[in-house]
Structure 1
Amino acid sequence: MTEHAGLRRRTVLKTAAAVTVLSGPALPARTLAADVVKIGLPVALTGPIGGIGEQMKRACEFWGKQVNAKGGLLGKKIEFVTQDTTGNPANAVRSVQEMVERDGIRLITCVVASNEALAIVPKLAGWDTIFISGDNGDGRLTAESLVPNFFRPNTSGPMGTRAVALWLRESKLTKFYGLGMDYAWGHNSMDVFQNEVKKAGRQFLGAVFSPTGTKDFSTYITKIRQSGADACYLVLAGDDNNAFLSQAKQYRLSDKVQLLTELVDEMSLKAVGEAAVGMVGGSRYTPTYDSPENKAFIAAWQAEYNRLPMMFEGDQYQSCVVLQAGVEKANSFDTAKIRSALEGLKLTSVKGPLEMRACDHQAAEQGFVVKVVEKPGTKDLVPQVIATYPADKITPPCNKMEYTD
């Protein structure tokens, strides 16, 4: 070897060593770029629904860590590409566009708001990308706005509303009022609730809608009190839900009006404390559901975080499990093959058995109704299951948001 060639070799080796130092430990061959699958998380991490986004992101990362520990997804290490959308539909579309064009992403999940999802879905075919919902509730996503590359393993807004409506048929409540967030999910769920109340032969007295980010609910609380309703149905989430419940406690609203909600979220229970006691609502996931799959999930989650999983964490985790099952059934990362594999997919997860219906890409799954109570011997609040309804009772007909009975 000539001196010149030796210098070149030493230079290459030094350069490689420097890259290794700058980049951290060298990855084994099986985890290099060719053996990585990137999954996009266009998630709201700041803003009024940022707390929900944090839950969902945490669930994705927990699932990814589990899969990677067992050899990856089809032998590929899962890596997440995360962008904060702030809950803004335009930001969500821009984030996914960048993920597709810059990172070659063909799988996305963890979108928080339904209006973000509604903005994304028309572009999925052009991006050749599969969107697995982890939270989005608007019924239109599996009805009039359905596109082939969208799948919803989570409980939809109409399904959560339906579970509560079935419970109220057995209650003594007769007159209802509603308060929802003034965007797609709020209006969609309130429409379903109104129809369900009327079908049950009860009175729906009206509803009001508050802009996302509302901090002062005093005028809304006054309207609820003046309506003469004996129950108020809430379609609120995140900071908005916390603000309302705290102020409702100050006004002693629950002394005269039973508070019902589509979603009982443990994050809100921790934030508002006793202001939530006695509230009845739906739950898209509950750690109190007794099944081997849920027990295993809870044990692993507690080992990692030293607490029980919260609702949005369990719901998003199930969506990740469905994504994994679809890819493994397809034995491919090809979009068309994954889409075909997901249609009709059946599995049992942390919420029990589900089927991804081919007709509308909605998971048929059971629904829970819970009541917020104090855990015996503590001041901790827990969502205690008071009713469970089978999939055929809460899942609407294909491509529909309404129920026939």
Structure 2
Amino acid sequence: MLKRAGGITRRTVLQSASVVLAAPAAVRGVVAADPIKIGMPCAVTGAAGSVGTQMRRACEFWAKQVNTKGGLLGGRQIQLLFEDTGGNPATCVRKAQEMVERDGVRILTAIVASNEALATVPKLAEWDAIFVSGDNGDGRLTGESLVPNFFRPNVSGPMGTRVVALWLRDSPLKAFYGIGMDYAWGHNSMDVFEQEVKKSGRTFLGAVYSPIGTKDFSTYITKIRQSGADGVYLVLSGDDYNAFLTQAKQYRLGDKMQMLTEIADELVLQATGDASLGLIGSSRYPNSLDNPKSKEFVAAWKAEYGKEPWMFEGDQYQSCMVLQAGIEKAGSVETAKLRAALEGLQIDSIKGPITIRACDHQGEQPGFAVKVEKGPDGKPRPNVIASYPASKVTPACKQMTYTD
């Protein structure tokens, strides 16, 4: 058993120091004295663990890149402090607060679930901390629940849903049903999908919501099959997503209707194999993008891990790049200065140009519709079938819905 010394476990010290020690020996003297601490209260166990693992890996990859090049702000190294939240909002708040009070953390990222983020953001002012999202989808985070110290460079749930809705406008599908995870993100994205479907003159037949951690989807699949829909929209992630797709194949759901998804997560596609083929949805980051930043990122990632980066890895990495640009622009990690620098920030990211809007701290960026098909290696992969500009994908300031 690990012993705590002043509230810090040996494991925490080792995890926190791991990225710092990857820095060149010439700069380690500066590292120990004054690192830039970034807290990661990140779910790597539980239903969202597969997503959190990708996000953590992206942060570690980014930090290693920065540290190897000499750090930020004249040689300060990035020090990542990690705690597993298990996807529990109360645990997330508690562990984030421990990082702030115990370790002096003033920057947070890699919080996985939207309900964890919604529980955390009211505390940011008290903590004098900045939270840069790398995954959180609930539209309220840049809408009714927006706080000054929260920023979302990643794609929101409404933006992912909007991509699917734009693609559907040119499809022959007329009637839709939905299934979402029964928490903030699932309901928020399904509400946007329903509005988009009705706005385009199609029929929304209804939706069901499954508790996080559901393993048996048979009753849900039966209800979906009996709905008479042409398409079913999935707002699922992690282990729940795996279980649904595997069982949907057994029930031949894809033969009866088109399966649509907000997120085409490569880890889920690999885990479910042929059960994912034919899915149409959005990708927050398709690694096949033909731009210099993306190609450079993919090449470096493959050199490090021997594979291409996946969607959540790319989206979190982009958020880290935005954070880095904000720190460099501010010339500081003081909360007020960093907040001012992030507002209105523009960078050329791995997905193309991105602007962090000053009005609601949402990252304006392009959207990508994908279809899951077999790649050259015989494994399923999301192939881009349509791209949409940021002006079409990003909702109006502090909004979760679209007028056109």
Q: Please report the TM-score for the alignment, with normalisation by the length of structure 1.
A: 0.93
Q: How far 1:31 moved relative to its partner?
A: 3.0
Q: How far 1:34 moved relative to its partner?
A: 2.5
Cα distance in 1 for partners of 2:99, 2:311 equals: 27
Amino acid at match of 1:43: C
Cα distance in 2 for partners of 1:250, 1:336 equals: 54
Q: Could you give the per-residue CA deviations for residues 296-317 of structure 1, whole angstroms, max 9, x where no partner exists?
A: 0000000000100000000000
Amino acid at match of 2:132: I
Residues 312/28 of structure 1: CA separation in 2 closer, same or farther (3 Å cut) = closer
Amino acid at match of 1:402: T
Write the mapping of 1:178-189 to structure 2, written as runs, cut at 5 A. 178-189=178-189
Checking the alignment, whether the CA contact within 8 Å between 2:47 and 2:212 is kept in structure 1 is yes
1:61 counterpart residue number? 60
Cα distance in 1 for partners of 2:27, 2:133 equals: 33
2:253 counterpart residue number? 253
Residues 319/29 of structure 1: CA separation in 2 closer, same or farther (3 Å cut) = closer
Checking the alignment, whether the CA contact within 8 Å between 1:67 and 1:73 is kept in structure 2 is yes
Q: Could you give the per-residue CA deviations for residues 172-226 of structure 1, whole angstroms, max 9, x where no partner exists?
A: 0000000000000000000000000000000000000000000000000001000
Q: Could you give the per-residue CA deviations for residues 252-293 of structure 1, whole angstroms, max 9, x where no partner exists?
A: 000011000000000001100000000001100010111000
Structure 2 SS opposite 1:233: strand
Cα distance in 2 for partners of 1:173, 1:260 equals: 11
Q: How far 1:381 moved relative to its partner?
A: 1.1
Q: How far 1:380 moved relative to its partner?
A: 1.1
State the identity as a percent: 67
Please say if 1:49 is aligned against 2:44.
no
Structure 2 SS opposite 1:137: coil
Structure 2 SS opposite 1:227: coil
Cα distance in 2 for partners of 1:346, 1:28 equals: 30
Structure 1 SS opposite 2:187: helix
Structure 1 SS opposite 2:70: coil
1:303 counterpart residue number? 303
Q: Could you give the per-residue CA deviations for residues 334-383 of structure 1, whole angstroms, max 9, x where no partner exists?
A: 1000000000000111111100000000000000010000114x321110
Structure 1: tracts of 5 or more residues without a match: 1-22
Write the mapping of 1:109-120 to structure 2, written as runs, cut at 5 A. 109-120=109-120
Residues 38/253 of structure 1: CA separation in 2 closer, same or farther (3 Å cut) = same
Q: Aligned pair count?
A: 382
2:396 counterpart residue number? 397
Q: Could you give the per-residue CA deviations for residues 94-129 of structure 1, whole angstroms, max 9, x where no partner exists?
A: 011000000100001000000000000000000000
2:384 counterpart residue number? 385
Q: Which has the larger radius of gyration?
A: 1
Cα distance in 2 for partners of 1:111, 1:234 equals: 22
Q: How far 1:329 moved relative to its partner?
A: 0.2
Residues 29/379 of structure 1: CA separation in 2 closer, same or farther (3 Å cut) = closer
Write the mapping of 1:24-173 to structure 2, written as runs, cut at 5 A. 30-74=29-73, 75-173=75-173
Please say if 1:226 is aligned against 2:226.
yes
Structure 1 SS opposite 2:226: helix
Q: How far 1:294 moved relative to its partner?
A: 0.2
Checking the alignment, whether the CA contact within 8 Å between 1:30 and 1:76 is kept in structure 2 is no
Cα distance in 1 for partners of 2:72, 2:26 equals: 17
Cα distance in 2 for partners of 1:114, 1:32 equals: 33
Structure 2: tracts of 5 or more residues without a match: 1-16
User: RMSD of aligned C-alpha atoms?
Assistant: 1.4
Cα distance in 2 for partners of 1:379, 1:291 equals: 25
Structure 1 SS opposite 2:378: coil
